Structure 1
Amino acid sequence: MPGLFDNIHDGLDQQGAVDILSKDVGVLESESDYYMAVSHLINFPGPITSQALLAFLDKCSVDVPVGLAQRKAVEVLARLGVVEATSKIATFLGSSDVYMVENAAWALSCLNCQDPEVHQRMIDLLYDSSQNQRVLIQSLSKLSVKSAIAPISVYTAHEKTSVRGAAIAAMIHLSGDQSHLTDLSDHLYDSNQMDRQSAVQDVIDANAVQLLSELLQAPISPAFRMRAVRALFDHPSNKLSDDEAISAVDQLLYDDPRLITVLHHYGESMPTQLLIEGLFHPDFSRCYLAMQELLKRDNREIWSSVESCWQEKAHNDYGAHYFLMRLFGLVEGWTEEALLQIHKILSDAIVDKRPQFRKSPSAALLSFAKLFPSQCNCFLENCLSLENSLSWDMRYAGLLLIQSDHSDDLQLRYQLQLQQLVESDVDSLLQLKAQSLLDHG
């Protein structure tokens, strides 16, 4: 699967990356060169890349730059699906570097290693508390190693939430044992955000469609929750119905903070400026709490606080940026002066290509449509074109604009594009949404 940050070395070609890997560590321009070259080779699948990465894994060295890059090489080989690397990667299960062991276990699950001896080595590693037991459990589960059921069952009572969650999900997958399913629900509301995020993956691994409602309300980044909905929808068992999938995606893209169950509260009334500062917090529960409180405040106070920090930091903080894009569309009664500036902020955000701001464009489009409904045509035309390279969620947001038009003018105007999306788009959720609009038109 391609990553947002894979191709960030535009001046480096495949041969250049391969050449870097053949150099001795002493002649590198930078200690990060090996890692950079290995990472960049993800963009060049094929035998040249595979051979270069496998040769680099044969390099025996205690130098830190080599070790870091070899860990990355294991990951890249797995992402490229280089099955012939399986036996070599399996040898790294014996590494003294626990992070290399972790990468090797993950890679072997991606490459669907079905060697019973390798499986047993992974089970043996599971008893070593210094290893990443969560990743080992996930890997054994993904490989459907039935002999791991008994060892993994012990960890359903583990003290670490992340390990316990992985074990519960693995037991559901491997044996159908759902006796601890409610624990996964509880994990979605754990006090630790990292554990809440891990719980999302556990829900995916367990294919726990019955936890959809809890998932949608959990105080976790919408990107994590959306990934789970897509994974549940795409699962071969097809337990998530079409209507459930569409409803869930709609809710996540609108992301109304009032529908989120937050884990924190304010002991006293907070100044509006401090609530805006709350949107910068790394814990999404606190961000959603700040949003809930902001929606009770006077719009002039809100705008004054936003304006004072926008240029200084808010425009360049991807977390706060996303929440402000949502806030603009949720607050009622903006002044004309505020609307002039909000118009420009939202317009810029809709076309923002920065990878780390991935959540903002669709949020900005939905808010723009709420505040400036008569000015959406140029954006909507782009969203519905099959010729563009917009993200799927941006295009889905365009469909939400059509759905929100109660006059049906937009649906009539874009009837042909909707039909083309149904017939030709590669994204199943987009197809489904477009078909639902045509069916209810």
Structure 2
Amino acid sequence: MDPNRFQNLFPGLSQAEALATLGKPLEALEDVSDRYLAAAHLVNFPDDETITALMACAADDHPAQAQRIARRKAVESLARLGARQALPVIQNCLASGDTYLVENAVWALAELQAQPKVVTEPLLQLLRDGRQNRRVVAQTVARLGIQEAVAPLEALRQEEDPLLVAAVIAALARLTGNKDGLAALEDHLLHPDVTVRRAVIQDLMDAQAFGALAAITAAPVSPVFRLRGVRHLADQQHQDGVAPAGGLLPLVDRMLRDDPATITLVHRYDTTPGLDFLVQELYGTDFGRVYLAVATLIAAAKDAAAKADTLAALTRSFADRGWNDYGAHYHMIKLFGWLGDPQPLPLVREALANRRPQFQKSRPAAALTLARLDPRQAAPALQDAACEGSFWELRYAALMGLEQLGLPVPPATLADSDWLVALRAKRMACR
């Protein structure tokens, strides 16, 4: 999905207003958070005036908390704007006592491709400083190709923090070319801590671990993380003219279909919980537990009465708060399809048309559920989504839905601007 879709969160705020807010003395602000919001919003106005204002904010070491958080955001915004002229200001932030500012500055150095000879020594010092986020430092020295970091990175392999160790393994693979340790990273995809499972996908991406595509596909995390990882690695191989072993399209199909039976679960129930508990689990942030609940709900709905009870519980919860919780919303839309009852079709169609940024992963889910629940009437909506979808996952899923219904591929998709969508369309056209 589009990584920039959350940037413009204040569409009514003009550049002039944001600049004025960023330049106001702290005591003149109506809300102390306004300076932070201005630094975040200015990323939407990529010009010299914006960059000058953000650089001034990034250089301001006023100790007030409102300025500290604004300064962190200013550094991030400068990096997102590609403002290499801000590198000296950002490099000065490495000496700050604010570890969060240091973290943002380290990340920004990689984003802006700082000259390694200028930043090598401060980065090596940070690698030895246990107060810092050394995971980000490890990622940055690898991205900048700092070979002097190999020895201090090797010394960190025995640390207890799995997030740090995973980043170190990936960084060493990138700097040395030796990928023998990447199998250990795949093991982290099944770590009990969901934060580790999510983070290691980024590490596998950084290490160009092409052999991990299937393992990423089955990892018990949100499909957003899995799709991002698989897509990144697939794009790298596509640029190199290499086809993924075993074929890429079946992996992408599997992730968008997102049947819990294809996920490697890391949790188990001692006894089968009740319906209310299982529905409540859909609101959790650990998708490993959520997928266990989804699989249990599907397995329990064996007869008409059980299906009716499950559907009733889901629709009540959806009306109560599921409509506004993007994680539960996604899983409920999928469950409606697995249960096979057309009763929630209005909710599914609404989800397909829902353009709220946080709910974007529900739209591909809705396309596939619509094809399942309304095979006679789904075609127009799926054809529109396949040709006009604002992000590739939706267009791809719409093609899957059309194929499921035995309908022809829309000709426009054969020349889709996204190579993966076009490849999916061409496969359909050849059948």
Both structures adopt the same fold (TM-score exceeding 0.5): yes
Matched to 2:337, the amino acid is: G
Match for residue 294 of structure 1 among 288, 293, 297: 297
Cα distance in 2 for residues equivalent to 1:258 and 1:89: 47
Post-superposition Cα deviations, 1:30-70, rounded to whole Å, max 9, x if no partner, equal 10111111111111112111111112223341111111111
Q: 1:410 to 1:389 in 2, by over 3 A?
A: closer
2:367–2:382 Cα contact (<8 Å) kept: no
Give the TM-score taking structure 1 as reference length. Answer: 0.92
Q: 1:246 to 1:349 in 2, by over 3 A?
A: same
Cα distance in 1 for residues equivalent to 2:241 and 2:86: 32
2:210–2:244 Cα contact (<8 Å) kept: no
Q: Does 1:274 align with 2:277?
A: yes
Question: Which deviates more, 76-85 or 295-304?
Answer: 295-304
Q: 1:365 to 1:324 in 2, by over 3 A?
A: same
Task: Give the share of equivalent positions with the same residue, in percent.
Answer: 35
Match for residue 314 of structure 1 among 322, 334, 338: 322
Cα distance in 2 for residues equivalent to 1:400 and 1:253: 9
2:79–2:111 Cα contact (<8 Å) kept: yes
Gaps of 5+ in 2: 302-306
- Secondary structure of residue in 1 paired with 2:250: helix
Post-superposition Cα deviations, 1:238-271, rounded to whole Å, max 9, x if no partner, equal 6552973222211110001011111111111222
Question: Which deviates more, 131-140 or 39-48?
Answer: 39-48
Question: Which deviates more, 9-18 or 221-230?
Answer: 9-18
Question: 2:311 matched to which residue of 1?
Answer: 303
- Secondary structure of residue in 1 paired with 2:376: helix
Matched to 1:427, the amino acid is: D
Cα distance in 2 for residues equivalent to 1:437 and 1:50: 47
- Secondary structure of residue in 1 paired with 2:178: coil
Q: How does 1:2-41 map to 2 (within 5 A)?
A: 3-41=4-42
Cα distance in 2 for residues equivalent to 1:141 and 1:433: 34
Cα distance in 1 for residues equivalent to 2:134 and 2:241: 29
Q: Does 1:46 align with 2:47?
A: yes
Q: How does 1:160-171 map to 2 (within 5 A)?
A: 160-171=161-172
Cα distance in 2 for residues equivalent to 1:239 and 1:215: 19
Q: How does 1:9-408 map to 2 (within 5 A)?
A: 9-235=10-236, 236-237=239-240, 241=244, 244-298=247-301, 299-332=307-340, 334=341, 339-340=342-343, 342-385=344-387, 388=388, 390-406=390-406
Gaps of 5+ in 1: none
Question: 2:420 matched to which residue of 1?
Answer: 429
1:325–1:367 Cα contact (<8 Å) kept: yes
- Secondary structure of residue in 2 paired with 1:281: coil
Cα distance in 2 for residues equivalent to 1:113 and 1:119: 10
Question: Which deviates more, 226-235 or 264-273?
Answer: 264-273
Give, in angstroms, the shift of residue 383 of structure 1. 1.7
Post-superposition Cα deviations, 1:250-301, rounded to whole Å, max 9, x if no partner, equal 1110001011111111111222222212212221111111111111123112
Aligned residues: 423
